[in-house]
Amino acid sequence: MEITGLEGKVAIVTGAGRMRSIGRPIAVELARAGCDIVFTGTGRPPDRYPEDEKAAGWRDIHSVADEVRALDRRAVAVVSDVRDAGAIDVLVETTLSELGRVDIVVNNAGAARGPDRVPVVDMDVDVWRNVIDTNLHGTFLMSRAFGRVLIEQGVGGSIVNISSIGGKMMSACTSAYAASKAGVHALTCAMASEMGQHRVRVNAVCPGIIDTFRMDDVGRGERWEQMISSNVPLGRAGTGEEIANMVIYLCSDQGSWISGQLYSVDGGMITGR
């Protein structure tokens, strides 16, 4: 099947600065499909880069910009914080001044795994707030700001929220993360109902275990292999490119009659949800 309808479109992808990630391949594959790309990162200092990024001479969003430009597409790299409504207003202004429009919004920025993975009774309030603010409020603020632009432009568009099967499984010791992603699911479906009249599609992609930096706390040895064999029927972790493929489809002409859906891309971990 040939994917069409993305040539010359403008896409914004949040959280795209990591070398081993979901955001980077989404940005690159959208560019490969014909989009000009605006993408954001947090502006983390180089001393916080993992060792493989340091060894590769990685430069966060600026390295991703090089990849996009190598595909003969325009790239605008912006340090931004999805939790900050004012920063998102600046991001809207930058996008419109640099590229003139927006057609696709991919809400990918997410809070890192860490001290949130505890029982509710042991949860620090600030840890809870950071996860909710980043994953749910950030998606809301981006969708509100860029949704207004999509409505004003009057030619439709696509919003894709990168969620997680965690928002469907709701496992123990994931309360903040699960609540944030379940909230993203509700936001996705409600906004799809609101935006359909403007020909704007709103969907969520729910990855399972993806081999990215986010899983580095697990390691890649025996513990990793046991986790995969115990949980993933297809017997391997997914890749960022496989999530990007679903995003590309949802934003294309071929996905033009899909809205309000929560797609699990997880190697079979969840069935029937």
Q: pLDDT tens for residues 107-119?
A: 999 998 889 999 9
Q: Which of 49, 177, 249, 263 is catalytic?
A: 177
Torsion of CA 235, 239, 192, 88, to 10 degrees: 150
Is the torsion defined by CA of 212, 218, 181, 231 positive or negative?
positive
Q: pLDDT tens for residues 236-253?
A: 999 999 999 999 999 999
Q: pLDDT tens for residues 5-50?
A: 999 999 999 999 999 999 999 999 999 999 999 999 999 999 989 9
Please say if 263 is a catalytic residue: no
Domain 10-265 CATH (choose: 3.90.70.10, 3.30.300.30, 3.40.50.720, 3.40.50.1100): 3.40.50.720
76 C-beta neighbours (distance < 10 Å), count = 20
Q: pLDDT tens for residues 84-134?
A: 999 999 999 999 999 999 999 999 999 988 899 999 999 999 999 999 999
With residues binned 3-state (H G I as helix, E B as strand, rest as coil), the percentages for the chain, rounded to 5, are: 50, 15, 35
Domain boundaries, the chain: 10-265
